[in-house]
């Protein structure tokens, strides 16, 4: 009976699809530094490391930079680039302020009862296929005005991203932090991280 059950279990296991791998590690080095990176490609992994899934729109890299031989190096986040084999898309990491910036707000100034109604839209603008006109009463452009949100109240997510981001600085010490790449719906095997210029380039795949 036990042997028959084991055989059935093995058959079922072979039929089931393999779980999608969403976290992977990579390692590379050049003449100046050693780079160790863990990549989180899905919302669950991003939430685990940040505490927020960032809407599922970002891939997050946990980066450790180790200067060699006591050299002082310059860490610049723009030296990193993430590329996907899926369609050739390339992206550089965004700063926390770019991710959590206060966007455009559409305010309905007329309509039933004459009450104003504010609807935050991020980067959306009505009339350009981004849906602002779907708000009740907002289809009439005479009843809508746009303004940029301002104020001193800081987005709580920005504080977290600022605290965890890979710092930009000159250093001869091991430095760690996160990079936030605006990319989604990617398979780990398709991703390549590059660092540096042509003469001292690091290319990294993940497994």
Model pLDDT, residue 197: 86
Cβ within 8 Å of residue 22, ≥6 positions away: 40, 41, 42, 44, 45, 188
Model pLDDT, residue 144: 47
pLDDT string in tens for the chain (207-residue length): 556 554 554 544 444 445 578 899 999 999 999 999 999 999 999 999 999 999 999 999 999 999 999 999 999 999 999 999 999 999 999 999 999 875 444 444 444 444 444 444 333 333 333 333 334 444 454 454 544 455 556 789 999 999 999 999 999 999 999 999 999 999 999 999 999 988 889 999 998
CATH 2.60.40 correct for 21-99+155-205: yes
Cβ–Cβ < 8 Å for 127, 140: no
């Amino acid at each position: 009976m036990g042997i028959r059950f084991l055989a059935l279990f093995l058959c079922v296991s072979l039929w089931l699809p393999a779980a999608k791998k969403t976290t992977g590690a990579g390692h590379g080095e050049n003449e100046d530094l050693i780079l160790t990176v863990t990549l989180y490609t899905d919302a669950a992994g991003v939430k685990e490391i940040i505490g927020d899934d960032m809407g599922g729109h970002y891939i997050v890299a946990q980066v450790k930079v180790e200067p060699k031989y006591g050299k002082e190096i310059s860490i610049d986040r723009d030296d990193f680039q993430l590329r996907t084999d899926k369609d050739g898309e390339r992206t550089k990491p965004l700063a926390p302020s770019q991710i959590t910036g206060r966007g455009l707000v559409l305010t309905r100034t007329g309509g039933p009862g004459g009450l104003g109604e504010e609807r935050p839209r991020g980067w959306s603008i009505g009339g350009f296929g981004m849906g602002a006109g779907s708000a009740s009463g907002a289809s009439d452009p005479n009843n809508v005005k746009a303004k940029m949100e301002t104020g001193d109240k800081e987005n709580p997510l920005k504080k977290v991203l600022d605290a965890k981001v890979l710092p930009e600085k000159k250093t001869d010490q091991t430095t760690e932090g996160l990079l936030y790449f605006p990319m989604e719906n990617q398979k780990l095997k398709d991703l390549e991280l590059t660092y540096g210029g042509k003469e001292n380039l690091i290319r990294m795949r993940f497994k």
